[in-house]
Chains A and B, each alone.
Chain A
Amino acid sequence: MRSGYLLRRTAASIGILFGVSIMVFVAIRLVPGDPVSLMLGKADQANPQLVADFRRSYGLDDPLPIQYFQWVTHALSGDFGRSLDTRERVGDLLQRRLEATLVLASLAAVIALSIGLLWGVVAAYARGAIGSTLRSAPLVLMSVPPFAYGIALGYIVAVWLRLLPSSGMTSPVDGGGFLDVLRHAVLPAVTLAIIPASLTARITAGTLDELRHEDFVRTALAAGIPERRVALRHVLPNALLPVVTNAGVLVGYMFTSAVLVEAVFSWPGVGTMMIHAVENRDYPVLQAGAFIVASVFVVVNWVVDALYGIIDPRIR
Chain B
Amino acid sequence: METTTPFDLNQAIQRWRENFAQSPALRGENLAELESHLRDSVAALEARGLSGAEAFLVASRRMGNVALLETEFGKVNRSTVWLDRALWMLIGLQVWQLIVSPVGAISKSVVALGLTGGRFDFFRHGLTIPTILFAAVHLLTVAGCLVFCWWLFVRKGQSFASRIEPFLHGWIGLVLICGALCLILLTGSVVSYGSVVLQAKFMDPRTLGEITRSQTYSNMFWWITQTGGFILLTLILARRRLRIAKA
Same complex origin of A and B: no
Instruction: State the B residues within 8 Å of A (CB).
Output: none
Instruction: State the A residues within 8 Å of B (CB).
Output: none
